[in-house]
Amino acid sequence: MSLDSEEALRAWFLGPRAENAELLERLIVEALRDHVFWRRNYHPEDGFTIREMDKRRAGYEQSVAVLIQELMGLLAQLKRDVPFFSGRYKGHMIAEQTIAAQVGYFATMLYNPNNIAAEISPVTTRLELEVAGDLARMIGYDPAKSWGHLTSGGTVANFEALWLARSVRYLAVAAAGAAAELGLELPVQTARGSTASVADLPLWDLLNIPGPASLDLWELLWRSGSKADVQRALVNHSLAAIGYQEYSRRLAMDYGDPLPAGVVLVAATAHYSWEKIVRALGIGSNQLVYIPLDTRFRMNPDALWERVAELARHRQPILACISVCGTTEESAVDRLDQVLDIRDRAERELGVTFHLHSDACYGGYAAALTRNADGARRSAADIRAAAGTDWPDDGWVSSITALGQADSVSVDPHKMGYVPYSAGAILVRDGRIRHLVATDPPYLSPPDATAPAMERFLGRYILEGSKPGAAAAAVWLSHKVLPLNEKGYGYLIARTMVGARRLHASLCAAELAPFRVVLLPLPDINIVCYVVSHPSLDSLESLNAFNERVYVQMSLARPDGAPEYIISRTRFHSPVYDGAVDPILAALEVCTVDEWKARGDEGLVVLRSTVMDPFLVAPPPAPDHVAGYVSALRRASTAALSFSRAV
């Protein structure tokens, strides 16, 4: 029976008025009692440790009284929290959670498994690997060859991606050193596609061996010598063991070639956490090379090519290129297919390659839109017909389909997977990479050290250690109820994309005179950004200050604490947004592009409405939060303007 997703959608969430409260309570209580009876049935001969009489003692009563009192206090405090569940929340990338995820998390938390190792999470480590397989299939990886796991969030997922990227990028150098030490002659495929002996390759070529070829070389090395010898030789030449300080010296000594430091290319819209990551990894934020944007806020492929060619001329190695699928500010989706073409061209024409990572923390789940229930890809026309809109175009589908060719992809279930914090995920196309960062804990003893047991010891391969099995169960159960195709997550996300377009169109058409709304282009997913202007605002500073005040009116920072709607705001700075922001500045007419660039710290304040609410386009009697928002924006703008005049 084919699922009617529009009907099913109403069962997926507790609902803006907690309409499904009865269902959620029933399942929560069921999960709790099921756990309770498990405890009762475990060695019933053990009798009772806490007797009924114990519950009548003063100390017991006192402790329960404190617990209840403090819990009531916490519940009262939480009333000051943010109503993410409401259609009135159009702020950050956070919304309602699926009932499946809430119940899955709670049910499993009672058992509290730790997915660091299957020994203390026999069930949920398996669920975590299943979830990684779900996500891998969705984006187009071969689950048999790829590998993935959950993380505490997108930053750790991205950290791991770059950590793995660095490991694979320097792998051929380590393998070449090890081969020389062991007197082995090994062939390797170069970026230009020819085969060479590693011993003959200069450092520059070794740093530009494609990832899969590096891993083939590494496998060949292991097969060519005894395990102990290869291990020792590899350690002798690996950055992970030697550390950067000594490694830099060694390279210069061994190859007489003090290569410039390896760089990381990122879309200019990349999340600020990339700066944290390169600092922590010891790469250094100076090595973060921002690639300019086009006017759709996507990485500009021509600019990427120019930069790659320039770096090649200076023989500066590229560790990785970070493309974004769903920028955190605009939900822009890079044309990853074009980025892949550029890497192909760089390999062919320049002999240069790099690890290609897609930061799809926000946008990754949108790939569900491109899958039929049987897993086959849907065309842009199929998606448009189902959504009843003129969106998406073929390029969008090509960008999403290209995820399957990226070397690694990060995707956060706790964003568009609609599960509670915290659940990020990292997926790698060639699962062999994980062995490059494996660390053996002392309690992983030889009898366990067989492949299947090691695979279930996630702590070996990942940055984190202890991690909640409950998060894996939450994602797993949510994927069961909302499949990763057009019927489940695809439908859910399509609703938000349609909602975002309706909001965009309504703001475009809104008659807000004397105010004027200048909008960013239609978003690639579901974040609508805009600037409100007024004839009296004749400078960048006054415009920014005014939009800040509009934001305050639309936030919990509002003096009365009761905003009609809640939005967020961001600030576009030069040089990151150079080019992309030009049409906006032109429409605003408060300063030229050059003036904006000159005032780097000032930037441009942009109001931002993330539409993760799938009910924004629900028919009546659901409230019309598009029309409601537009008229609230007028009131907020009027209030902000009178405040400007008052001060």
Q: Please identify every residue annotated as catalytic.
A: 443
- The reply to whether 376 sits near a second copy by the rule CB under 8 A is no
Taking CB under 8 A as the binding criterion, the range among 133-141, 279-287, 345-353, 425-433 that sits at the site for a second copy is 279-287
Q: Which is nearer to a second copy, 305 or 615 (CB)?
A: 615
CA-CA distances (angstroms) from residue 382 to 140, 189, 205? 18, 40, 44
Residues 337-366 that bind a second copy (CB under 8 A): none
When the beta carbons of 75 and 509 are compared against a second copy, the nearer one is: 75
Q: How far apart are CA 470 and CA 627, in angstroms?
A: 39
Binding of residue 572 to a second copy (CB under 8 A): yes
Residues 78-137 that bind a second copy (CB under 8 A): 78-88, 91-92, 94, 97, 99-100, 102-114, 119-124
Give the C-alpha separation, 210 to 356, whole Å: 11
Structure tokens at 508: 């475009």
By CB under 8 A, is residue 232 in contact with a second copy?
no
Q: CB under 8 A: which stretch of 209-217, 502-510, 531-539, 569-577 binds a second copy?
A: 569-577
Strand stretches in 364-474, DSSP E: 408-410, 424-428
Of 29-37, 211-219, 387-395, 398-406, which segment contacts a second copy by CB under 8 A?
Answer: 29-37
Runs of H (alpha helix) within 314-442: 336-345, 380-387, 394-401
386 binds a second copy (CB under 8 A): no
Q: Which of residues 515-554 bind a second copy (CB under 8 A)?
A: 548
Q: Are strands 263-267 and 288-291 parallel, antiparallel or unpaired?
A: parallel
Q: Is 23 in the site for a second copy (CB under 8 A)?
A: yes
Token pair recorded at residue 385: 């017909």
Site for a second copy in 45-74 (CB under 8 A): 46-51, 54-55, 57-64, 66-68, 70-71, 74
Could you say whether residue 635 binds a second copy (CB under 8 A)?
no
Cβ proximity to a second copy: between 150 and 217 the closer is 150
Kindly tell me which residue out of 193, 258, 375, 514 binds a second copy, with binding defined by CB under 8 A: 258
The answer to whether residues 162 and 320 touch, using CB atoms and an 8 Å cutoff, is yes
Helix (H, G, I), strand (E, B) or coil at 243: coil
Residue at token pair 């492929």: 301
C-beta separation of 533 from 515 below 8 A: yes
| CB 446 to a second copy: min, Å | 7
Residues 223 and 272: their CA atoms lie apart, in Å, by 42
**Looking at beta carbons only, is 285 or 372 nearer to a second copy?**
285
**Residue 596 Cβ, how far from a second copy at the closest point, in Å?**
15
- If one asks whether residue 373 binds a second copy (CB under 8 A), the answer comes out as no
Q: Which of 29, 253, 587, 598 binds a second copy (CB under 8 A)?
A: 29
Q: Give me the 320-339 binding string for a second copy, x by CB under 8 A, dash otherwise.
A: ---------x----------
Cα(281)–Cα(88) distance, rounded to whole angstroms? 40
Q: In what order do the strands lie in the sheet with 89-90?
A: 89-90, 566-572, 604-610, 527-533, 516-519
State yes or no: residue 477 binds a second copy (CB under 8 A): yes
Distances (CA, A) of 516 to 8, 49, 536: 39, 70, 12
588 vs 573: CA distance, rounded Å? 16
Scanning 179-187, 372-380, 471-479, 506-514 for contacts with a second copy by CB under 8 A, the matching segment is: 471-479
Give me the sign of the Cα torsion angle 33, 35, 39, 44.
Answer: positive
Tokens read off for 365: 């789940």
The stretches of 432-572 forming alpha helices (DSSP H) are 451-455, 469-481, 489-509, 540-553
List the one residue from 192, 232, 250, 276 that touches a second copy (CB under 8 A): 276
For residue 607, the minimal CB distance to a second copy (Å) is: 11
Contact 617, 498 (CB under 8 A): yes
Segment 286-305, which members bind a second copy (CB under 8 A)?
286-287
Footprint of a second copy on 595-634 (CB under 8 A): 601, 603, 605, 615, 618, 621-623
Task: Confirm or reject binding of residue 508 to a second copy (CB under 8 A).
Answer: no
- What the block records as the tokens of 124 is 């949920």
> Could you tell me the smallest distance in angstroms from the CB atom of residue 404 to a second copy?
26
Q: How far is the CB of 184 from a second copy (least distance, A)?
A: 23
CB of 377 to a second copy, least distance (A): 24
- State which residue, 190 or 208, has the beta carbon closest to a second copy: 208
Backbone angles phi, psi at 79, to 5 degrees: -65, -15
Instruction: Report how many residues bind a second copy under the rule CB under 8 A.
Output: 183
Q: Which stretch binds a second copy (CB under 8 A): 10-18, 399-407, 527-535, 639-647?
A: 10-18
- Closest CB to a second copy among 97 and 146? 97
Select the span of 4-12, 137-145, 293-301, 514-522 touching a second copy (CB under 8 A): 4-12
Instruction: Please state the closest distance from residue 561 (CB atom) to a second copy, in A.
Output: 10
Rg from Cα positions in the chain: 27
Residue of the chain from 189, 248, 389, 398 that contacts a second copy (CB under 8 A): 248
| Binding segment toward a second copy, per CB under 8 A, in 40-48, 136-144, 199-207, 211-219 | 40-48
> How far is it, in rounded angstroms, from Cα 96 to Cα 475?
14
Indicate which single residue of 194, 195, 245, 450 sits in contact with a second copy (rule: CB under 8 A). 245
Using an 8 Å Cβ cutoff, are 271 and 363 in contact? no
Residues 406-445 close enough to bind a second copy by CB under 8 A: 412, 414-415, 420-422, 424, 437, 439-443, 445
C-alpha span between 474 and 102 (Å, rounded): 7
Q: Which of 142, 185, 200, 246 binds a second copy (CB under 8 A)?
A: 246
Structure tokens belonging to residue 84: 């993410």
- Write down the least CB distance from residue 240 to a second copy, Å: 4
**Count of C-beta atoms within a 10 Å radius of residue 375:** 11
| Torsion sign, CA atoms 76, 82, 83, 84 | negative
Integer Cα distance of 228 and 5 in angstroms: 56
Is residue 220 a contact point for a second copy (CB under 8 A)? Answer: no
d(CA 522, CA 519): 8
Closest CA to 355 of 318, 393, 382: 318
Tokens for 605? 């304040």
The values of phi and psi at residue 49, to 5°, are -85, -40
Least distance CB 549 / a second copy (angstroms): 9
Binding mask 137-156 for a second copy (x = CB under 8 A): ---------------xxxxx
Least distance in Å: CB of 94 to a second copy? Answer: 6
